[in-house]
Structure 1
Amino acid sequence: MKILVCITFILGSFLTLYAQGEAGISGKVSDVKGQPVSYANITLQRVDSTFVTGCTSDEKGKFVISKLEADNYLLQISFVGYITQVIRLDNLSRPLDIGTIQLADEAIMLQGVTVKASNVMKRVDRQIILPTDKQVKSSTSGYELLSHMQLAGLKVNSIERKITTVSGGSVQLRINDIVASTAQVQALRPDEVLRVEYIDNPGVRYADTEVEAVINYIVRRAESGISGGVSFTNAVTTGFGDDNVYIRATHKLSQFGLNYYLSYRDYDDRKVDEEQMFSFTEAKERRRELIGISTPFSYQDHSIEASYNLTKPEKYIFNAVFTENIYNSPHGDYGQLIKETEQKDLYNYTRSEYNYHSPSLDLYYKKFLPHDQFLALNVVGTYIGSDYEREYSEVHSEAGAPVSSYDYGTDGSRYSLIGEGIYQKTFDKITLTGGIKYMQAYTHNRYTGDVNE
């Protein structure tokens, strides 16, 4: 039995300019076309409808409510000619930017529709979910937060850092609309997450036909400060570890980040059991049982990431990320005893070794335009250098020469450049997306080996 002990330690941020202990709410009110709604009525109530405070949005549709006690609230936004929207805020105990609240024209409201409070806001192409304070406090990473939010249609494994749809499809993760790595989501502080955008039917905007859903963490940033943390998951009785260290420094509009993620396995007695069946057109089926024999297995997977982000809210975003992935697996070995009716027992042995490194540079720029439009440009350059060797042999249980053996290897290099430009405009009931994508790659592989049988 393997015993796993998870040790998680997060260093608190310091020198930050936003207040952590005082609850507050901020946001922006607009119509479905993206035009700001000035002087909208903002009312804050407790869940028993007791009035707490209120204000109006300014000429740009923005509002701020500060100096609140930790409690459960209902935020009501209303304006003449628009459908009132009520947002439920459970366990509010920190500053919360709920983003843009869209009010629909009252003319399209159907008879019998009842306005209900919810922490989920629906848009044309996505749902916007506000995490509760309880969910935030019980989480130590972006994966755990998503697990506690229990979004319909998603399967979240916070230990293995995997997120899929219930059908097993891939999920693209983003932070502030920028594609995020495993290390970035693991290092994400839940108390920095303002809201989560869930797109369960992504369109061509995301330019990846294998993506079945998109999760976009909207994260606030301190104006100035340094934050960091470490996360360790290690086994006591065997070689197993998933460890992460990160640090971020923010000054005004700029943020610098450094992440290091290490995943390793080192097993002395891995076993692989199999059953094989061979079907022939003019002969009976052959069945073989392969019983695993203890063999070593090990790998080390290193991910180093340096990033720079320059953001001016509602104006532009520039993001640059350099990543180096280094993978070394000296033992992907396994051995088996092969049993087959009316055949002598055989032993097989597979020895494999795999190494690669893959540096990449990702440059991203997004410009926000008036009337709910934006233009995004992305350029990614990558290199992959890999070396793979595999040997396989079968011998009789009695001593003797191998009855079957072969080996092969691949030494490969691949260079690629991907460029993309996207324009998007959101209307009342539809979203228009257009763009262009350029891809170029060069691959050079050298194959070696021999086959005796």
Structure 2
Amino acid sequence: MTVCLLAGICHAQQIRISGKVLEASTKQAAIAANVVLQTNDSTFVNGAATDNKGIFRIEKVAEGSYKLVISAIGFKKSVIDLQGLSQSVDLGTLELEEASQQLEEVTVSATNVVSKFDRKLVFPNKQQITASNSGVDLLRNLMLPRLNVNPLDGSVSLNDGSSVQLCINGRKVGKEEIQALIPSDILRIEYLEDPGLRYGDAGAVVNYIVRRYELGGSVSTSAQQSPYVMWGNYNVSGKVNYKKSEFGIWYGAYSHKFENAWRTNEETFAKEDGTFLHRTEEGIPDVTSEYAQWGGISYNLQEADNYMLNASVGFWNENKPRTGFHSTLYTREYPELATERLDFAHNRNSRPWFDIYFQKELKKKQFLALNVVGTYIGSHNRQNYQEILDNEFVADYFSGVQGDKYSIIAEGIYEKTFKKSRFSSGIKHTQAYSDNEYSGTLNYNTQMKQADTYAYAQYNGKWKKMNYTLGVGVTRSWYQQIGQEDYETYQFNPRFSLSYTFNEEFYARMNGSLNSNEPSLSQLSAVDQLIDSLQIRRGNPDLKPYNNYRLNLTLGYNKKKVQINWYTNYRNAPDVIMEQTYRENGKFIRSYANHHRFQSLENELSVRVGMLWDVLQLRGSTGLSRYWSHGTDYNHTYTNWYYELEATAMYKRFMGYFMIQSNRNSFFGESLSSGENLHVLMLQYRLGKVNLGAGIINPFSDNYKREQENRNRYAGSKGAWHVKESAHMAFLTFAYNFSFGRQYQSKNKKINNSDTDAGVL
């Protein structure tokens, strides 16, 4: 009993609440402001006053739920609700408004969210941390608006399909490093729903602010494995710290093999002579498999509020030894000629990289950062396509690609902070070279050079209750394929954002942007690849960049434990690069071209409720999307309705999770791609530093499938990909995390670059 009491006292002494208080109107430090920590029934617990820099610290806080009240003469009181406090938190910069203005309190409730003008600061509570095995689990348990976290592979995306940039202390990382994070080491998560020009075309940014150790380190391990299917995900990572230095290492892998995967498909071909071919593909269950491993080491040297140097090297290796389909192919016009179809590929890809980053705090609130990233991408892909009739080959194609791509990315940014605003600018240059050798039935060699330069300037300010951002960027792109003419283009990229807070419950935000989209190296490759006996994939070196115009409107309502958000997103892309299918010498050529226009209108309503009874939280969303594809020789429209429901129950050491979602389909060009019709049920139990769990995928369905459709008038198709093991598939989870040493918060790295485009058709 004595040992337990002493351990509880030591743990309580580790919790600290800190932050910095500024006067909202002048951005100057609020000196001698009163900071009082109270229980929910307003009982005094502890207090402090801000120093001459506006900084406060409250030490030796026990676990529990509190209110932090900040007040000063002539200013409106600010109240921050800290529910389920279980670890030290840095609240960042808080602002006090003048009492003469019509102002509201700043309240953090339910999910412990502090809303800033450009981001949300999310502080996980004790239940959410206890119920999580990794950084991905924690993000899922927070149920942030618009964010979809796949509970199976850990991928993170927005509901509209836009990319999400993941960061750890400001440094861009992949989901693999997020999966390796220890939840108790995560101080807060910064969620940027409207990233600026520096983040390119990212739809959102999720930045994990993680503890940094002065001495000691941490180790994290996790695994997810089905007991009767070869399906598993594994991660291990570690960090060691000594004073200003930190050494890190991480490794992860996944292994997926299914014995019963097949494809069904209906195809219609309109030949040049006016006749038709109708083909039906009936899949035969066969094996498909994929494996991957990744890892890296890093070194970080930093002095708080002065400089930071980060250097890392890593690798990603992926091996898909057998992906494809075994089927029987029937032709309506020739019913007696049913053929056996074998369409299998073996793909191997490797991507080693290095990343060097340096940032420096300058005088007069100025900031400078530099980043260099080098990447090699090696691609080794092989595909075999065969059609067999009466034990004889009707078609027998082989294609292989060996690709090598080298790239270097260099970027620098500068920021200057004023009393009520901030100016930022930057320049980024990418230089790449690729050499791809296509062998097999057809043989080609392509060599391509690429150079992109992007410069931007952006200004953030505040006027009364409105925050605004104005920015402009210029992109210069240059491509050259050996043996072809090179081309050079310049694109103008303006951007704006306006947000207005009506009261403490309701806000609105609008942002618009014009982004240039370049053709990928693979789309520009002037090569042919055989798809099957009737179809050929071909690149187009005549493609030109196009502009994407976007306008977004967000309405938000927050009342105690209820959060309601409405999103509308409109996209207009004239001269867009979309698919182009045409007939040539009895074959159907699948290529790309600049078309008239693509438009989409997406609407979504999202509601979150919780924590109810400090146990249950719910999130539901529903949306309606409309797409218009106006090609040079086709016009298509498509409408999709979808929904998603999530529920998380957390009680003591137990956590239960249920998710169900319908297909969120997307349409582009002439192709319809379906989302996952998926539901997952999980239960976990924490035993000390070990977290054990079990789950099941699609417990109420016996058929997992992903549908696709092509509406081309010459070569249309409609089919689905099936995996039997993805229905009723049970799995077990295991996680063991521990850390040691004193802790303090890391600086944020503000430049994030990577290259993942192999340039292979």
Single out whichever of 433-442 and 443-452 deviates more from structure 2. Answer: 443-452
Once residues 365 and 227 of structure 2 are traced to their aligned partners in structure 1, the CA distance between those partners, rounded to angstroms, is: 53
Contact 2:12 2:60 in 1 (8 A): no
Question: Per-residue CA shift, 1:112-167, capped at 9, x if unaligned?
Answer: x4664543222221111221121111111111111111111111123311111111
Q: For 1:66-215, what aligned pairs fall within 5 Å after superposition?
A: 66-106=59-99, 109-110=101-102, 113=104, 116-118=107-109, 119-206=112-199, 208-209=200-201, 211-215=202-206
Following TM superposition, by how much is the alpha carbon of 1:429 offset from its aligned partner in structure 2, in angstroms? 5.8
Once residues 167 and 80 of structure 1 are traced to their aligned partners in structure 2, the CA distance between those partners, rounded to angstroms, is: 46
Following TM superposition, by how much is the alpha carbon of 1:218 offset from its aligned partner in structure 2, in angstroms? 1.1
1:250 counterpart residue number: 241
Following TM superposition, by how much is the alpha carbon of 1:71 offset from its aligned partner in structure 2, in angstroms? 1.8
Q: For 1:319-338, what aligned pairs fall within 5 Å after superposition?
A: 319-338=310-329
Following TM superposition, by how much is the alpha carbon of 1:69 offset from its aligned partner in structure 2, in angstroms? 2.5
- CA gap of 1:114–1:65, structure 2 versus 1, over 3 A, is closer
Once residues 113 and 362 of structure 2 are traced to their aligned partners in structure 1, the CA distance between those partners, rounded to angstroms, is: 26
Is 1:290 aligned to residue 277 of structure 2? Answer: no
- CA gap of 1:293–1:426, structure 2 versus 1, over 3 A, is farther
Which runs of 5 or more residues in structure 1 are unaligned? 1-18
Q: For 1:252-271, what aligned pairs fall within 5 Å after superposition?
A: 252-271=243-262
Q: For 1:299-448, what aligned pairs fall within 5 Å after superposition?
A: 299-343=290-334, 344-370=337-363, 372-396=365-389, 398-399=390-391, 401-427=392-418, 430-448=421-439
Which runs of 5 or more residues in structure 2 are unaligned? 1-9, 443-529, 534-761
Contact 1:20 1:95 in 2 (8 A): no
- CA gap of 1:160–1:117, structure 2 versus 1, over 3 A, is closer
1:16 counterpart residue number: none
Once residues 120 and 138 of structure 1 are traced to their aligned partners in structure 2, the CA distance between those partners, rounded to angstroms, is: 19
TM-score, scaled to structure 1 = 0.88
1:233 counterpart residue number: 224
Contact 2:371 2:411 in 1 (8 A): yes
Once residues 420 and 340 of structure 2 are traced to their aligned partners in structure 1, the CA distance between those partners, rounded to angstroms, is: 65
Identical columns (%)? 36
Following TM superposition, by how much is the alpha carbon of 1:290 offset from its aligned partner in structure 2, in angstroms? 1.3
1:224 counterpart residue number: 215
- CA gap of 1:417–1:106, structure 2 versus 1, over 3 A, is farther
- CA gap of 1:244–1:278, structure 2 versus 1, over 3 A, is same
Contact 1:74 1:117 in 2 (8 A): no
Following TM superposition, by how much is the alpha carbon of 1:407 offset from its aligned partner in structure 2, in angstroms? 1.6
Q: Residue type matched to 2:412 in 1?
A: G
Following TM superposition, by how much is the alpha carbon of 1:106 offset from its aligned partner in structure 2, in angstroms? 4.4
Once residues 90 and 287 of structure 1 are traced to their aligned partners in structure 2, the CA distance between those partners, rounded to angstroms, is: 62
Following TM superposition, by how much is the alpha carbon of 1:324 offset from its aligned partner in structure 2, in angstroms? 1.3
Aligned-partner SS, 1:146: helix
- CA gap of 1:68–1:303, structure 2 versus 1, over 3 A, is same
1:15 counterpart residue number: none
Once residues 264 and 242 of structure 2 are traced to their aligned partners in structure 1, the CA distance between those partners, rounded to angstroms, is: 55
2:571 counterpart residue number: none
Contact 2:415 2:422 in 1 (8 A): yes
TM-score, scaled to structure 2 = 0.54
Contact 2:411 2:428 in 1 (8 A): yes
Contact 2:285 2:326 in 1 (8 A): yes
Following TM superposition, by how much is the alpha carbon of 1:20 offset from its aligned partner in structure 2, in angstroms? 4.5
Contact 1:34 1:372 in 2 (8 A): no
Aligned-partner SS, 1:345: strand
Q: Report how many residues are paired.
A: 429
Following TM superposition, by how much is the alpha carbon of 1:425 offset from its aligned partner in structure 2, in angstroms? 3.3
Question: Per-residue CA shift, 1:366-420, capped at 9, x if unaligned?
Answer: 2234555422211100111111111111122x33x32223221111111100000
Single out whichever of 82-91 and 196-205 deviates more from structure 2. Answer: 82-91
- CA gap of 1:411–1:241, structure 2 versus 1, over 3 A, is same
Once residues 106 and 285 of structure 1 are traced to their aligned partners in structure 2, the CA distance between those partners, rounded to angstroms, is: 77
- CA gap of 1:179–1:266, structure 2 versus 1, over 3 A, is same
Following TM superposition, by how much is the alpha carbon of 1:276 offset from its aligned partner in structure 2, in angstroms? 2.4
Once residues 421 and 266 of structure 2 are traced to their aligned partners in structure 1, the CA distance between those partners, rounded to angstroms, is: 52
Q: Residue type matched to 1:417 in 2?
A: I
Contact 2:12 2:62 in 1 (8 A): no
Following TM superposition, by how much is the alpha carbon of 1:313 offset from its aligned partner in structure 2, in angstroms? 2.3
Is 1:42 aligned to residue 35 of structure 2? Answer: yes
- CA gap of 1:277–1:74, structure 2 versus 1, over 3 A, is farther
- CA gap of 1:36–1:314, structure 2 versus 1, over 3 A, is farther
Is 1:449 aligned to residue 449 of structure 2? Answer: no
Following TM superposition, by how much is the alpha carbon of 1:445 offset from its aligned partner in structure 2, in angstroms? 1.1
Once residues 31 and 284 of structure 1 are traced to their aligned partners in structure 2, the CA distance between those partners, rounded to angstroms, is: 77
- CA gap of 1:291–1:37, structure 2 versus 1, over 3 A, is same
- CA gap of 1:21–1:41, structure 2 versus 1, over 3 A, is closer
Following TM superposition, by how much is the alpha carbon of 1:31 offset from its aligned partner in structure 2, in angstroms? 3.5
Q: Residue type matched to 2:45 in 1?
A: V
Once residues 157 and 224 of structure 1 are traced to their aligned partners in structure 2, the CA distance between those partners, rounded to angstroms, is: 35
Single out whichever of 30-39 and 243-252 deviates more from structure 2. Answer: 30-39
Question: Per-residue CA shift, 1:343-379, capped at 9, x if unaligned?
Answer: 2212111231111221100111222345554222111
Contact 1:389 1:407 in 2 (8 A): yes
Question: Per-residue CA shift, 1:83-108, capped at 9, x if unaligned?
Answer: 3221110111322222222334445x
Aligned-partner SS, 1:220: strand
Aligned-partner SS, 1:135: helix
Aligned-partner SS, 1:273: strand
Q: Residue type matched to 2:433 in 1?
A: Y
Once residues 294 and 231 of structure 1 are traced to their aligned partners in structure 2, the CA distance between those partners, rounded to angstroms, is: 32
Aligned-partner SS, 1:48: coil
